[in-house]
Every structure is written in structure tokens, then in C-alpha cells.
Amino acid sequence: MPTAKGLLKKFTTAKTLPHITIQLTKLISDENSTMQDFEKMIKMDPTLVLRILRGANSPYYGLRQKVNSISRAVVVIGMNNLRNMIVTEGLKEVFKGKNSKNAFSRNRLWLHCAAVSICSQMIMERIFGLNGENAFLCGILHDIGMIVEDQTAPDLFSMVCNTYDENSKPITDYEKEIVGTDHCEIGHLLAKDWQLPIEVQEGIQRHHKTLDHVSPSSLTGVIQLAEYIVSQLDYTAIPGMKAKLSLPLANHIRDNVKEYKALVRDLPNEMSKAKDLYEPHEE
């Protein structure tokens, strides 16, 4: 059976993700990087320049004056948001790939990941008053392992999707039995290879685990809360897939139900404001 490392190696060898995306992500993780380093690398990809400027000038940031330079765009967006934008742009191309002949749809998965990322950032910032940039990043990447499986082991992953029954057992159990690994472990290894923050790596690795002890404000807790909320709104990775909450997270929502009801009401508007970041562009 394939291993997570084996599938990821095959995925990386295929050069599915733009090289500049990987390099820029690692550059952002390097404390010794300078603004000149970023400008030099970003300028190598005119399409990326256009999208970064478009992103900085989008309604999401609500600026009054137009941003015309890369350096100014980076200052406006911020390093972590720049990292998130670059990763999101790179992933758009990956998710555009041909859909498998089963219940799985890359377009549906992309919308799910976008919803989880935006909802996660809202939870982290509005419920806990913490910086939500890593929550967004973890949300947009949490199911990337499914894309790796779909591309590198399509027949096995198709079997997973066609036999999956939400009332029987978690999808990760089907993946381990049929593929030999699961999308959580694959995504964790990818995040580790990209040198992303440890909490992002762990959030991806543990987002399907029902934990007896999990802090609602931890990145793992926030991703699980977001998955639960968006699944109730039918933003699911696979039709019919519903997220389940562990007792600590269920109690947390119950104790803060008014705040979460307000968040759910605002989620469609926040997704609309951020759609320029996650919807495909016509070049």
C-alpha cells in the first residue's frame, strides 16, 4: 500500500504546485528574509504580481487609496496574509484539476476549504480575540491531502469516496484501509515540508480526531469548530459528510451560542468580501 510520504513525493515530483509558491512560503518562514528578497521573487511571476496587487486593492482590505507597488502591497497585506494569499493562489490551480468519477469534486472541496478558512479566522478573531491568520492558512490547507490522493492514487481514492458511509465510520478509516494512509497525515507532511508553523501542521493532522481534551481556542479546536459550522451550511468536502464535535467543543458552542449565531449570520457576507482571494480569476 502507498504511504503518506510516497504519495507526497509523487505529488511533488509532478510539480503540481507552482515552484514560486513553495519558495515564497519558505521565504516568509525565514526570519532573515528582507523586503527586497520578496520583491525579487514575486517579480519573477507577473501573474502573481497582478493578483497580489488585485488582492491588496480588493474590498477585503477596504483601502481608500489604490496600491500600485509590490512593497506597498506587502505592507498593506502583512507577511502572514501575504503567505496566505500566495498559498491560496497556488492551490487554486491544483483544485482546478479534472474531477474524479465519484462523489468527490475538486470544486466542492475548494469551496469547503474556503468556507472553513474564513470561518476559522472569524472564530479566532471574533470569539477569542486572537490573530486569525494562521487559522485561515490551516483552514485553506486542511484537506489538501485529498487532492494528493486524488492525483496520485485516483483509483484507490475513488474507492474511498464510493464506499464511504458517514454513519459507519470516519472517512479517515476508509482511507487507511483502502489507500494505506489518510489526507490528514499527507497534509501534515506537506505543511511540514513547507516549514509552516507547528500549530498549523498539528491542526491539519488532527482535524478529524475526536479529542477528549481539546482547547476551543487552539488551532485544532478552531478548525474543528469551523468544520462543524460550515458542514451545517452544506459546505462539505463530500456530499452528506457531517463533522462531529467532541464534548469540550460542543459545550463551548452551547455556552457561547449567541456569539456563534451572530457569526453564522455574518459568514456569507465575509465569504462574499473575501471571494476575490479564493475564487478563480479570468486572466
In the chain, where are the structural domains located? 4-278
The x, y and z cell numbers of residue 218, run together, are 487552539
Q: Which helix (H) or strand (E) holds 198?
A: helix 198-206
Q: How far apart are CA 26 and CA 195, in angstroms?
A: 6
Rounded distance between C-alpha atoms, residue 223 and residue 257, angstroms: 17
Question: From CA 275, how far away is CA 270, in angstroms rounded?
Answer: 9
Q: What pLDDT shows up at residue 107?
A: 86
What sign for the dihedral angle of Cα 195, 60, 216, 145? negative
Q: pLDDT at position 36, please? A: 82
What's the rounded Cα separation, in Å, for the pair 171 and 174?
5
Q: What is the pLDDT of residues 206-256, one digit of tens each?
A: 999 988 899 999 999 999 999 999 999 989 988 888 888 999 999 999 999
Check residue 99 and give its pLDDT.
Answer: 57
Residue 169: phi, psi to the nearest 5? -160, 165
Average of per-residue pLDDT across 144-151: 92
In this structure, whether the domain defined by 4-278 belongs to CATH 2.40.10.330 is answered with no
Residue 2 to residues 121, 144, 150, Cα–Cα distance (Å): 34, 17, 13
Q: What is the rounded average pLDDT of the residues 22-28?
A: 78
DSSP state at residue 181: S
Single pTM value for the model: 0.82
Measured distance CA(2)–CA(272) in Å, rounded: 39
Comparing CA positions, the residue from 127, 140, 107, 109 lying closest to residue 25 is 140
- Tell me if 74 sits within 8 A of 40, measured CB to CB: no
Chain segment 70-124, per-residue pLDDT in tens: 888 888 888 778 888 778 877 877 787 665 556 788 888 999 999 999 999 999 9
Please state, in angstroms and rounded to a whole number, the distance separating the CA atoms of residues 86 and 21: 6
Residues in the chain: 283
d(CA 209, CA 193): 22
How far is residue 112's CA from residue 140's CA, in Å, rounded to a whole number?
Answer: 9
**Three-state DSSP class for 226?**
helix
Q: Taking a C-beta distance cutoff of 8 angstroms, is the pair 136, 270 a contact? A: no
pLDDT category at 283 given cuts 50, 70, 90 is very low
